[in-house]
A and B are shown apart, each in its own frame.
Chain A
Amino acid sequence: MCADTTTALLQAADINVNYGKFQAINNLSLTLNAGDTLGLLGLNGAGKSTLLRVLAGTSAPGSGAVSINGHDLSKQPLAAKQNIGYAPDKPPVYPEFTVREFLTFAARLRRVAKKKLKTSIDTAIEKCALQQVTDRVIGNLSHGYQQRINLAQALVHEPRLLILDEPANGLDPAQLLEMRSLVQQIQSDQATIFSSHLLGEVQQVCNRVMVINDGQKLLDIPLLELSDNSKTTYELILQGKANQQDLQNLPGVLRICTVDEKHWLVTTNADNSAATVDQIGEVLIERGLRLLEVNPVRNHLEKLFSQLKLNSGNQPVAIGGAS
Chain B
Amino acid sequence: MIGTIARHELQVYCRSAFAWIAAAALQLILGWLFLSATEQYTLLQNSASHAASTGLTAYLVVHFIAPASIIMMLATPLLCMNLIAAERQSGRYLLFASAPVTSGEIVLGKFIAAIAFQLGILTFSALLVSALYFAVPLDLTHLLSAYTGLALFVALATALTLLFSSMTRIPALAAFASFSCLLLSWMGSSAGTDMAIGQLSPSSRMHNFMQGLLHTGDLMYFVCLCALLLIVCSWRLGSSQDYRGTPV
Q: In the complex, A20 Cα to B248 Cα: how many Å?
A: 15
For A53, the chain B residues whose CB sits under 8 A away are: 94, 247-248
Tell me if A90 is interfacial: C-beta within 8 Å of chain B: yes
Assess the B94–A60 pair: CB atoms within 8 A.
Answer: no
Option from A58, A74, A105, A109 in Cβ contact (under 8 Å) with B248: A58
For B242, the chain A residues whose CB sits under 8 A away are: 60, 74
Tell me if B26 is interfacial: C-beta within 8 Å of chain A: no
Chain A proximity of B6: nearest CB distance (Å):
12
Option from B11, B91, B92, B243 in Cβ contact (under 8 Å) with A60: B243
Q: When each residue 97-128 of chain A gets 1 if its CB lies under 8 Å from chain B and 0 otherwise, what string results? A: 10001000110111100000000000000000
Q: Is the interface of B mostly helix, strand, loop or mixed?
A: loop
Q: From B242, which residue of chain A is reached at the shortest CB distance?
A: A60
Given contacts A18-B244, A59-B243, A105-B4, contact A82 B97 (CB under 8 A): no
Given contacts A96-B12, A97-B11, contact A109 B95 (CB under 8 A): yes
Please provide the chain A residues from 151 to 179 with a CB less than 8 Å away from any CB of chain B in the complex: 153
Please provide the chain A residues from 28 to 86 with a CB less than 8 Å away from any CB of chain B in the complex: 50, 53, 56-60, 62, 74, 77-79, 81-82, 84, 86
Q: Which residues of A contact B (CB under 8 A)?
A: 18-20, 50, 53, 56-60, 62, 74, 77-79, 81-82, 84, 86, 88, 90, 92-94, 96-97, 101, 105-106, 108-111, 153
Chain A proximity of B150: nearest CB distance (Å):
30
Q: In the complex, A77 Cα to B96 Cα: how many Å?
A: 13
Given contacts A105-B8, A106-B95, contact A62 B100 (CB under 8 A): no
Tell me if B137 is interfacial: C-beta within 8 Å of chain A: no
For B243, the chain A residues whose CB sits under 8 A away are: 59-60
Assess the A94–B241 pair: CB atoms within 8 A.
Answer: no
Q: Which residues of B contact A (CB under 8 A)?
A: 1, 4-5, 8, 11-12, 15-16, 90-102, 241-245, 247-248
For B102, the chain A residues whose CB sits under 8 A away are: 78
Chain A proximity of B10: nearest CB distance (Å):
12
For A59, the chain B residues whose CB sits under 8 A away are: 241, 243, 247-248
Q: In the complex, A42 Cα to B65 Cα: how many Å?
A: 60
Assess the B241–A81 pair: CB atoms within 8 A.
Answer: no
For B1, the chain A residues whose CB sits under 8 A away are: 109, 111
Option from A84, A94, A111 in Cβ contact (under 8 Å) with B12: A94
Task: Give 15 CB contacts A-B under 8 Å.
Answer: A50-B247, A56-B94, A60-B241, A78-B100, A81-B100, A82-B100, A84-B98, A92-B90, A92-B93, A92-B95, A96-B15, A97-B11, A106-B95, A109-B99, A153-B95
Q: From B14, which residue of chain A is reached at the shortest CB distance?
A: A96
Assess the A86–B12 pair: CB atoms within 8 A.
Answer: no
Chain B proximity of A141: nearest CB distance (Å):
16
Q: In the complex, A57 Cα to B94 Cα: how many Å?
A: 10
Q: From B109, which residue of chain A is reached at the shortest CB distance?
A: A109
For B16, the chain A residues whose CB sits under 8 A away are: 96
Assess the B94–A94 pair: CB atoms within 8 A.
Answer: no
Q: In the complex, A302 Cα to B99 Cα: how many Å?
A: 36
Given contacts A90-B91, A108-B4, contact A58 B97 (CB under 8 A): yes
Q: In the complex, A96 Cα to B20 Cα: how many Å?
A: 14
Q: In the complex, A148 Cα to B242 Cα: how many Å?
A: 29
For B96, the chain A residues whose CB sits under 8 A away are: 109
Q: In the complex, A86 Cα to B12 Cα: how many Å?
A: 22
Q: In the complex, A109 Cα to B92 Cα: how many Å?
A: 13
Option from B8, B92, B99, B245 in Cβ contact (under 8 Å) with A18: B245
Given contacts A57-B97, A97-B15, A109-B99, 10 further A-B contacts (CB under 8 A): A53-B247, A56-B94, A58-B248, A59-B248, A77-B100, A82-B100, A86-B94, A96-B15, A106-B99, A111-B1
Most buried by B among A53, A59, A90: A59
Chain B proximity of A28: nearest CB distance (Å):
16
Q: In the complex, A57 Cα to B240 Cα: how many Å?
A: 11
Q: From B3, which residue of chain A is reached at the shortest CB distance?
A: A108
Closest 7 CB pairs of A and B: A58-B97, A86-B98, A96-B15, A92-B95, A81-B100, A60-B242, A78-B100
